[in-house]
Structure 1
């Protein structure tokens, strides 16, 4: 009897689109598609400004670009007591509505992959759904170059009243480039997740590569994507 394919939700990065995310995940899809179906979701907002210069040039025939809302800073200087929570996400309510539509239309999902802002939203949505609905809509997360959640309105989802952390209780894999200008905040993002989740077959995995804000090259890391595939499949099969 044929094994049912996993369904993997994919959230693209800031001011990009589904086409770009498909290209970015090509190496992962190549090894996983015998076992998985990838579902790419477009962010709910058309980009309010230009994308990265390289993206604009390479994908000039694949516009428009989209974003998962935009960020505003608090109208004061950050303080130590803010503990890194000093942004406001404009449009997060619409993101939730949009994802609800996607879950109804394309779900259920076994795993989720997020790149950059898509990874940030994946983490925010994971905790929002857990706290507001007691729902886990994916069994594990793979986040590449995801910057840390900093929205003050979401802080209670990630911190207790005494300031101690509430770790995301979902098995996670984090891919971070050592040359990424957002390296430090990507590391902080990984720290939002629990090191171990009860009944999960593996601990949290953080993989660092020598490149920047991108998925690592399959040529330079020939075994990486096979390992990622094995980990995702193990998490999903164990959770059944």
Structure 2
């Protein structure tokens, strides 16, 4: 049974006004790890990066079917989202995984988007592409944000023809490791999105520690998203239009965010 680890937004005590509800991001871990391990990895990042969000970390729905690369580093149990064969063109239990996540998102949302590593990033991008094509999550507001760490595309032509048919219009940031064995697939995934941002790091297939330059880039990127959303919501409120539909387009018209030299737009 999958469980949830959540970083909740703080609230004021002693009768003081509560802070505004933070926007949720669903966080999907890598192959044969866990939500708890992914949370530990992300907790090493500067808290300013996701200061305006609640990060919800899920465990994959299947127990790990083999050895985990984090044995001896982080305690079990370990999980996987679905199974696949070499070449990443054939999958088992993918439909069951998608159904589970859609049910979870609909029942526990709304979510602004995804943060994913490796298998979790590939799965997140697939869900975003499917939603954009009207295949899933029709009763949930359109996702608006995606942070990918070492992600990749699915290779099944039937999936590609649907999920990546058109550039996915979601604000996306892609962390790509120069020594990652998935470096080129990660770069290819970025091209599936409209106006993506690629931030490179010198490490391998991992959630990297971020230097001061990268922290500034990511913090400005997420802050720009929130500022754009707040501007649109405020404008809708002035016009008496606040409601479900205004939230669906809250990120439209967001201000442009400028990044440093280590960030490369695709």
Asked if the contact 2:52/2:226 (under 8 Å) is kept, the reply is: no
Equivalent in the alignment of 2:117: 115
Normalised to the residue count of structure 2, the TM-score between the two structures is 0.72
Q: Which has the higher contact order (CA 8 A, sep 6+)?
A: 1
The alpha-carbon deviation at position 179 of structure 1 amounts to 0.6
Asked if the contact 1:15/1:67 (under 8 Å) is kept, the reply is: yes
Of 212, 223, 241, the residue aligned with 1:233 is 223
Inter-partner Cα distance in structure 2 for 1:39 and 1:232: 16
Inter-partner Cα distance in structure 1 for 2:224 and 2:50: 15
Equivalent in the alignment of 1:126: 128
Q: Confirm whether residue 50 of structure 1 aligns to residue 52 of structure 2.
A: no
Q: Confirm whether residue 97 of structure 1 aligns to residue 89 of structure 2.
A: no
Structure whose CA Rg is larger: 2
Task: Report the CA distance shift for 1:237/1:43 in structure 2 as closer, same or farther (over 3 A).
Answer: farther
Asked if the contact 1:41/1:102 (under 8 Å) is kept, the reply is: no
Inter-partner Cα distance in structure 1 for 2:129 and 2:120: 14
The alpha-carbon deviation at position 184 of structure 1 amounts to 1.4
Which structure has more helix as a fraction of its residues?
1
Inter-partner Cα distance in structure 1 for 2:181 and 2:37: 20
Inter-partner Cα distance in structure 2 for 1:227 and 1:21: 21
Q: Which runs of 5+ in 2 are unaligned?
A: 1-16, 230-249, 251-266
Asked if the contact 2:122/2:153 (under 8 Å) is kept, the reply is: yes
Equivalent in the alignment of 1:190: 190
Normalised to the residue count of structure 1, the TM-score between the two structures is 0.79
Q: Which runs of 5+ in 1 are unaligned?
A: 75-85, 160-164, 196-203
Q: How many aligned positions are there?
A: 210
Three-state SS of the structure 2 residue aligned to 1:113 is strand
CA RMSD of aligned residues (A): 2.2
Asked if the contact 1:130/1:136 (under 8 Å) is kept, the reply is: no
